[in-house]
Amino acid sequence: MPNYKLKKILSEMRDIGIETVPSSYLSLAGEGKKAQKKSSRDANDAQAASLDNAQESLLASASLEDVKAEYANCMMCPLGHARLNIVFGEGSPNARLMFIGEGPGFTEDHTGRPFIGRSGNLLTKIIQDGMKLKREDVYIANIVKCHPMKDPSSPEKHGNDRPPSPDEVEKCIVILRKQIASIRPEVICTLGAPAAKIMLNNTGGISAVRGKIFDISPLPEEPQYSVKLVPTFHPAYLLRNPPAKKTAWEDIKVVMSLLRL
Ligand code: URA
């Protein structure tokens, strides 16, 4: 059962005065989203669990709108001073699939939307023409939410992109974690080596991780929550190296089979 449905049912039960639920409800949280909550209670004392426990991890996750509002004026790192817009991310709050890129570029900074430049168009094509999904059905985010610029005083300059610094990543990843906690995707597909490295805590290049499926626990405060991660190439790389599109399509097919599409 998707978590948003379970949240609703639990809230309604509380409204009509039900305070405990069968312990099996605890494991329903995340079921079908491959995020089984493994209760450590032994069978004897697990007949009933408080509604508070069942809701705890679900309701502790803020809604995407709340997370967005919380960081609307974010100045946690120097990127906040130069950005034109925060590129929070967009898509379905109940997405089963989340794409994660490295960070916004020029067009994204100017519009506040992720992946809408040339590489974004290719990503949209992959989602729509390849996966037969709508862009609005998935969630698209980045590791950092503001455009990392070589020259922060010139947001209007083209070719002003740079990778985010480790410090910028460390500050900003908190927002991504809250997005993941809220959405609870079944599958994360990282786009490009930097996003894969950061999500996998891995120092190797894309060839070290591509073609594999990883189980990761992206929420340090909730180590029992795990999600499948499939790394693939960044669409910008695919634009520069069209032959790699074939390999990327293999990755996307893996994503689709994990989602049973
Ligand atoms: N590249 C990224 O990694 N993210 C975007 O949003 C756009 C381009």
Q: Which atom of ligand 1 is nearest to the CA of 87?
A: 6
DSSP state of 228: E
Q: For 58-81, what is each residue's pLDDT tens digit?
A: 556 899 999 999 999 999 999 999
> What distance in angstroms lies between residue 83's CA and the mean position of ligand 1's atoms?
14
Q: Would you say residue 204 has pLDDT above 90?
A: no
* pLDDT digit string, tens, across residues 81-109: 999 999 999 999 999 999 999 999 999 99
**Domain range list for the chain:** 3-60, 64-258
**Residue 18 banded pLDDT, cuts 50, 70, 90:** confident
The CA 19 to ligand 1 mean position distance, Å, reads: 45
For residue 110, give both structure tokens.
Answer: 């100017």
Q: According to the model, what pLDDT value does residue 26 have?
A: 47
Instruction: Indicate which atom in ligand 1 lies nearest the CA of residue 119.
Output: 8
Q: What is the pLDDT of residue 202?
A: 87
Give the whole-angstrom CA distance, residue 156 versus residue 120: 19
Residue 48 has pLDDT above 60, yes or no: no
Question: CATH code for 64-258?
Answer: 3.40.470.10
pLDDT band for position 186 (50/70/90)?
very high
Arithmetic mean of pLDDT, 136-160: 97
CB-based burial, 38-62: b 16+ in 10 Å, e otherwise: eeeeeeeeeeebebebbbebbeebe
- What pLDDT shows up at residue 44? 43
Q: Which atom of ligand 1 is nearest to the CA of 143?
A: 3
> Could you tell me the two tokens for 75?
């100045």
Choose which residue among 83, 88, 102, 140 to substitute to test ligand 1 binding: the one with the highest number of ligand atoms within 8 A of its C-beta: 102
C-alpha dihedral sign at 70, 73, 75, 77? positive
User: From ligand 1's centre to the CA of 105, what distance in Å?
Assistant: 6
Work out the mean pLDDT of the chain and round it to a whole number: 87
pLDDT for 41 equals 42
Q: Whose CA is nearest to atom 7 of ligand 1?
A: 115
Q: What is residue 17's predicted lDDT score, i.e. its pLDDT?
A: 67
The CA 109 to ligand 1 mean position distance, Å, reads 10
For the CA of 101, the closest atom of ligand 1 is 3
In the reported structure, the alpha carbon of residue 190 is separated from the centroid of ligand 1 by a whole-number distance in angstroms of 11
pLDDT over threshold 50, residue 35: no
Ligand 1 atom with least separation from CA of 107: 7
What residues does ligand 1 touch, defined as CB less than 6 Å away? 101-105, 108, 114-115, 119-120, 142
Across residues 225-238, what is the average pLDDT?
A: 97
- Residue 174 Cα, ligand 1 centroid: separation in angstroms? 18
Query: Are β-strands 227-232 and 214-216 bridged in parallel, bridged antiparallel, or unpaired?
Result: antiparallel
Using CB atoms within 10 A of its CB, is residue 80 exposed (0-12), middle (13-18) or buried (19+)?
middle
